[in-house]
Amino acid sequence: MENQIAVGLDIGTTKIVAIIGRKNEFGKIEILGTGKAVSSGVHRGVVNNITQTIQSIQEAVEAAENESNLEITNVVVGIAGQHIRSLHHSDYITRPNAEEVIDEDDIERLKNQVLKLVMLPGEEIIHVLPQDYKIDGQAEIEEPIGMFGGRLEANFHVVVGQVASIRNIGRCIKSAGLGMSNITLEPLASADAVLSQEEKEAGVAMIDIGGGTTDLAIFKDGIIRHTAVIPFGGNVITDDIKEGCSIINKQAELLKTKFGSAWPGENKDNEIVSIPGLRGREPKEITLKNLSKIIHSRAVEIIDEVFSEIKNYGYDEPKKKLIAGIVLTGGGAQLLHIKQLVEYITGMDTRIGYPNEHLASDSELELSSPMYATSIGLLMKGLESIEKQNKMQALASKVVAEDTVVDVETDVVENEQQIPNVTEEIKKKPRTSFWDKFVSSFREFIDNAE
């Protein structure tokens, strides 16, 4: 059963979380162990202290191992951070024979064409996501395979990241004594955990408010259309409280989570909270109204930045309308009245996204929190990869079995030419996607790194 188990590792700015899980007989995720450690070597999603990050990863993994009594060897890790950016690009290929049907090789050749784009120094394309296709001038084709045509065009959503930042994460994982079974973009992992397929079809903007960054992923017609990373999150609110109230960081974080609100009008002038003084000094008294004003001003700034990205996507166009509105997730989504503030600024329906839909009923209540959305999403990606591998192995076994039958019955069958053709079709190896190739080459780089 251990080969059915996956591990999601979320390397965040404020915390590092390792979650071990598997699917139960009902298709829900059964959590076997969790581990959490303070992240002290990551700033705005980017590793800036490898030694501290390795220690935090080891601490989180060890806690998950102790709880599950299992040994962790491979993890699914997420890529995020302020270095991630996206762009839209259109490209085409001319096919030598327009009378032949378009197949996956043509799609792969078109994607490889996108790789020829010149990036900024130190950047690398890490994800190529087709949006829609055009064949010989016929537009808005969602699935071109099986069609005829000479000129195959496509619009792509291209995700780009800093090579050094991505490789530093890989080095941390390897130095922590772990292997990397897969890597994925964190906004995509969070989206898998909190969004329904209906929302993705209708059009939805997922906003993941983390400690160091705020990630945005926009889906429409079931396809990801836009991604963005805003380089600040919940930590800047904590910093503002610390400076505005002249208190230490730990007290500021506690004030934000226990008494903070994104809507100042909710608090009365006489609501006061007392903060213990340092080393025998007098305690500080802070009004909750002032606290909410500090939080409100920074929260508005974050939401305005995200809303600008939603506007850049063109959400007000009829074909790009986001019928399902906005889904908030991440630790910042737990801030009191943040949902109402987002609705007020954007005018769009908003809900808080919880990852509990995919979890087994006996899971800990804490894991249903929005702050674990990315971790659960990464675990889901790992389990999804295992299912794909099992299907491929089953298909390979079936091909071997059918080959054996063909060998035994060849003398008896009258039309011998048909069987090799059928067998040849079955034996075609599954084509490797661009993302799989990237993961494979990245793993090879990490394995060969000094």
DSSP for 14-66, please give it: SEEEEEEEEE-TTSPEEEEEEEEEE--SEETTEES-HHHHHHHHHHHHHHHHH
CB 208, CB 352: distance < 8 Å: no
Q: How much is the pLDDT for 421?
A: 47
Q: Which residue did the predictor score with more confidence, 435 or 40?
A: 40
Which tens digit of pLDDT belongs to each residue from 429-450? 445 555 566 566 666 656 655 5
Whole-number Å distance between alpha carbons of 7 and 19: 6
Distance CA 152, CA 327 (A): 35
Q: How confident is the model at residue 412 (pLDDT cuts 50, 70, 90)?
A: very low
CA atoms of 71 and 247, how far apart (whole Å): 42
Residue 281 pLDDT grade (very low, low, confident, very high; cuts 50, 70, 90): confident
Percentage of the chain modeled with pLDDT above 70? 88
Please tell me the predicted confidence (pLDDT) of residue 81. 80
Strand partners, 16: 11, 37
Report the predicted TM-score, pTM, of the whole model to 2 decimal places: 0.84
Phi, psi of 20 (to 5 degrees): -105, 135
Return mean pLDDT, the chain.
86
Tell whether the model's pLDDT for residue 348 goes beyond 80: yes
pLDDT at 282 over 90: no
Which of 365-369, 387-391, 423-427 is predicted least confidently? 423-427
* pLDDT the model gives residue 444: 65
Q: DSSP class of residue 148?
A: B
403 — pLDDT class (breaks 50, 70, 90): low
- Helix (H) / strand (E) element for 89: namely strand 85-94
CATH number of the domain to which 148 belongs: 3.30.1490.110
343: confidence class by pLDDT, cuts 50, 70, 90: very high
- For residue 143, being part of any structural domain is answered with yes
Token pair of 40, please? 């002290």
Secondary structure of residue 6 in the 3-state scheme: strand
Q: Quick check: 420 pLDDT over 80? A: no
Summarised one tens digit per residue, pLDDT across range 145-162 is 999 999 999 999 998 988
Q: Which domain holds residue 149?
A: 85-162
What are 346's two structure tokens? 């954007």
Instruction: Please state the rounded mean pLDDT for residues 223-243.
Output: 92
The Cα–Cα gap between 146 and 157 comes to 23
What pLDDT score was predicted for residue 371? 93
pLDDT of residue 25: 87
Taking residues 85-114, report their average pLDDT: 90
pLDDT at 423 over 70: no
Residue 39 lies in a domain: no
The answer to whether residue 155 is domain-embedded is yes
Amino acid symbol at 319: K
The answer to whether residue 428 is domain-embedded is: no
pLDDT digits (tens, 9 = 90+) for 202-212: 999 999 999 99
Percent pLDDT > 90 in the chain is: 53
Q: Is residue 117 part of a domain?
A: yes
Contact indicator for 63, 18 with CB cutoff of 8 Å = yes
Mean pLDDT of 233-253: 92
State residue 77's pLDDT score. Answer: 93
> Structurally, how many domains does the chain consist of?
1
The answer to whether the beta carbons of residues 187 and 204 sit under 8 Å apart is no
In this structure, the dihedral spanned by the alpha carbons of residues 197, 129, 167 and 73, taken in order and rounded to 10 degrees, is: 40
Other beta carbons less than 10 A from residue 204's beta carbon: 26
- pLDDT higher than 70, residue 88: yes
For 297, residues 6+ apart whose C-beta sits below 8 A from its C-beta are 240
Which amino acid is it at 333?
A
pLDDT at 416 over 90: no
